[in-house]
Amino acid sequence: MKFTCPKDKLLKAIQIVQRAVATRTTAPYLSCILLEAGPDQVVFRATDREIMIQYEIPVEVVQEGKALLPARYLGDLVRRLPNMDITLEQQLPDQVFLFRYGNSQTQLIGMDPEDYPAMPSLAYNQSFEIQAGIFQKMVHQVSSASAVDSIRPIFSGIYLESTGNQQLNLVATDTHRLAYTSTKLPVPLNGDQPISIVIPTKTLLEVTRLAEDEESMIKVFIGGNQVIFLIDTVTVVTRVIEGQFPNYRQVIPETYTTRIKANTQLLYEGVDRATLLAQDSNKFASNVLKLTTKGETLILESFSQEIGRAYEEIPVFLQGEELEIRFNGRYLLDALKAVDAEEVYLDLTGNLNPGVFRPADGRDYLYLVLPVRSGV
């Protein structure tokens, strides 16, 4: 194998696929990046068996071939190379590769590329396209509600649902909160079956990161237990999380007895300050805020024996009954960041039922948070 490529193109390709490299593995080849030189391009590929990322760049290929190089040293080496054309050449018959730049060269030892997983072929049942900017916003609106570590993997992903009429819903929950967003696809689904799958949150965040042009289209292909995302010259393959996602509609209140309307930024800043003083060595009391309605004012209170006490008054418009309720302040901050609107509704039905944040402009989005029963 032998090809020449500008350093910046080579480094970008490595950095794109490197995030799929396994960090902890008993299979050494999963800590490597595959380079496959074809007639006029080089394909870069990495996987940890959960997600695979492939990226193609057009280059001047002198001799076709494959290389399987350790990701850590490959990335660190190319990052340190001078900004000029780099020639990568294999010293046959061994898995030894020379990086030539100017009058200098560095040698890197690779592994047998035949051991590396191939890009899977996918016989898909459904497919759709969505504008990158819209998909990025949807994923970021719900991702904070998914579980980071869970004994039930279904909660560590984001639920994609479409039952027709070009509508796509994204839902995430960690059982303490739930986020939902919806959009209308530009064209109908390709396939006669509804979409009902859960994809790892980590994968969808990677997809949004890789979509650099917000105006570009992301193509999604679903088949069996795999999903493929095509983003320009990047391909992302991921597994579907097995299991049944809960019926999220059952936990969303249909009515409310109290509606609070507030400026999103003012409410966020108040919650942020109050949460700062809600830290406690007792994890069950940590981050707890008390919200009390009093006329056209929402009072936020927090207390920690180790730090101090906070009292905030936020001007609001109140509709319905006055009440007192407690929430995890961190969850409220995530909800307010995700709403992305100048004004926000907080809909409540008593102090034992979930609170639901909605943008006041009427967009089809909500962030539900369960109350806590201890604290201030």
Q: What is the pLDDT of residues 219-274, one digit of tens each?
A: 999 998 899 999 999 999 999 999 999 999 999 999 999 999 999 999 999 999 99
Which pTM does this prediction carry?
A: 0.92
Confidence at 191, pLDDT banded by 50, 70, 90: confident
Distances (CA, A) of 328 to 256, 277, 337: 20, 12, 15
3-class DSSP state of 135: helix
Distance CA 293, CA 210 (A): 44
Report the half-sphere exposure of 145 (CA within 13 A, side-chain side): 31
pLDDT at 80 over 60: yes
Domains of the chain, first to last: 2-115 (3.10.150.10), 126-248 (3.10.150.10), 252-369 (3.10.150.10)
Q: From its phi and psi, is residue 151 left (phi > 0), alpha (psi between -120 and 50) or beta?
A: alpha
Long-range contacts of 89-96 (CB under 8 A, 24+ apart): 89/1, 89/2, 90/1, 90/2, 90/63, 90/65, 95/67, 95/68
Spatial distance between the Cα atoms of 301 and 280, rounded to a whole number of angstroms: 14
Query: Edge-to-edge strands of the sheet including 60-63?
Result: 60-63, 2-6, 85-91, 96-101, 104-109
Q: pLDDT for 331-368, tens place per residue?
A: 999 999 999 899 999 999 999 999 999 999 988 999 99
Run of H or E including 38 = none
- Calpha distance 45→163 (Å, rounded): 34
pLDDT tens digits, one per residue of 2-51: 999 999 999 999 999 999 998 887 788 999 999 999 999 999 999 999 99
One-character DSSP codes across 334-365: HHHHHH-SSEEEEEESSSSS-EEEEETT--SE
Instruction: Pull the structure tokens for residue 216.
Output: 């570009």
Residue type, 35: L
How far apart (Å, rounded) are the C-alpha atoms in residues 257 and 201? 34
